[in-house]
Amino acid sequence: MTTQTSTLSETGRPTVTGKVPGDLLRVSDLDPRTLVELLDLAAAMKQEPLGWERDLRGGAIGCVFEKPSTRTRVSLATAAHRLGMKAMVLNKEDMQLGHGETPADTARVLSSYLDALTIRTFDHAIVEQMADAATVPVVNALSNTHHPCQSLADLLALREHFGTLDGLTVAFIGDGASNTCNSFLAACAASRMHLVIAAPPGYETDPEILGEARELMAHHGGSVSLTTDPVEAVGSAQAVYAEVWVSMDKHHERAERARDLAAYRVDDALLAHAPGEAVAMHCLPAVRGEEITSEVLDGPRSLVWRQAANRLPTAQALLHTLITTARRRTA
């Protein structure tokens, strides 16, 4: 992937002309060309955030959240506002969804009121059920298996820092089976990047997800390799990605995970084995001193706060693209 400019609309603004999916449940729903154009649109929206406020004025999105959220909740709500839309945060227990109504029935009804649904839940099957039933775009705002919104922000941060994604090498350190790792692997596959995953035994990436990425890389470029040695993983990495060891559905495994992943902390000692230009990444929230140290998180090599900031323009670009495309298809 390069930083080439997307096709411009009649207004001179970047526009997504590649194949746009009806929903975004996984990063792999986006083909490489569409992903490039979506990042270009996000970059333009970051420079001129209110330039699109008339496009979807009067619309509304629903944010169905079964998990706590800071970045996802606020970035989606603010993105909707910048597009002239209202965002309604819907907690499961405040809805009939929390009292026996099925996800499919909820999605059918909400489609009558809203222009898009965003779902943050545990089981990825719930996201798929709602997408199958909804008649408006559905965005996976995080499930136990995939976290596509985070990966879009990650790619934009890397592209801003290095000027290109093509050929970059990133080391992902820790839980190779996490939703963040799964989505970032797919993002690398669509971007001709090289990913090295360093994970201990028992924390390996799902073979099916790994196979899908390798198949795309075989045709498009890039690579993925696996190791149990974090020092080996960072040796040629231009970015080193850390992630929280105990996700929201794994609190019962805290002691076991802390023991298994103790050697996978991203600290100054580990970064000393990476090239001098290497940056540190983290999707947040971070447990300082566990998977990453404060010295790295707040240090000059940290890309973390740019990743977090980019959740907003990438969410804005994603909502704009999915909703405007859906409206054209039904016009």
DSSP string for 184-204: HHHHHHTTT-EEEEE--TT-P
User: To 10 degrees, the CA torsion angle through 279, 233, 140, 43?
Assistant: 30
Cβ neighbors of 75 (< 8 A, separation 6 or more) are: 149, 311, 312, 315
Distance CA 170, CA 237 (A): 5
User: To 10 degrees, the CA torsion angle through 180, 150, 15, 111?
Assistant: 90
Two tokens at 53? Answer: 């406020």
pLDDT category at 5 given cuts 50, 70, 90 is very low
Average pLDDT of the segment spanning 135-162: 98
Distance CA 60, CA 116 (A): 7
H helices present in 71-189, as ranges: 71-82, 103-110, 124-133, 148-162, 179-189
CA–CA distance from 3 to each of 38, 41, 100, 160 (Å)? 12, 12, 48, 9
Residue from 282, 319, 274 nearest 302 by CA: 282
The number of beta carbons lying within 10 Å of the beta carbon of residue 61 is 27
Average pLDDT of the segment spanning 60-89: 96
pLDDT, residue 250, reads: 73
Residues 104, 84, 313, 28, CA torsion sign: positive
pLDDT, residue 123, reads: 96
Amino acid code (one letter) for 43: A
Do residues 326 and 138 touch, judged by C-beta distance below 8 A?
no
Average pLDDT of the segment spanning 242-260: 88
Each residue's pLDDT tens digit, 163-205: 999 999 999 999 999 999 999 999 999 999 999 999 999 999 9
Phi, psi (5° rounding) for residue 269?
-65, -40
- Check whether 58 has a pLDDT greater than 60: yes
pLDDT category at 125 given cuts 50, 70, 90 is very high
Distance CA 146, CA 191 (A): 18
pLDDT, residue 98, reads: 79
The architecture in CATH of the region 27-146+310-321 reads 3-Layer(aba) Sandwich (3.40)
Percent of the chain whose predicted confidence (pLDDT) is above 70: 96
Cβ neighbors of 311 (< 8 A, separation 6 or more) are: 71, 72, 75, 149, 150, 153
The architecture in CATH of the region 150-309 reads 3-Layer(aba) Sandwich (3.40)
pLDDT category at 4 given cuts 50, 70, 90 is very low
Stretch among 19-23, 247-251, 323-327 having the lowest mean pLDDT: 247-251
Residue from 24, 88, 86 nearest 53 by CA: 86
- Check whether 9 has a pLDDT greater than 70: no
Which DSSP helix (H) or strand (E) runs through 33?
helix 32-47
- Check whether 60 has a pLDDT greater than 70: yes
Cβ neighbors of 93 (< 8 A, separation 6 or more) are: none
- Check whether 61 has a pLDDT greater than 70: yes
Residue from 313, 320, 325, 316 nearest 20 by CA: 325
DSSP assigned state of 61: E
Domain limits, CATH 3.40.50.1370, in the chain:
27-146+310-321, 150-309
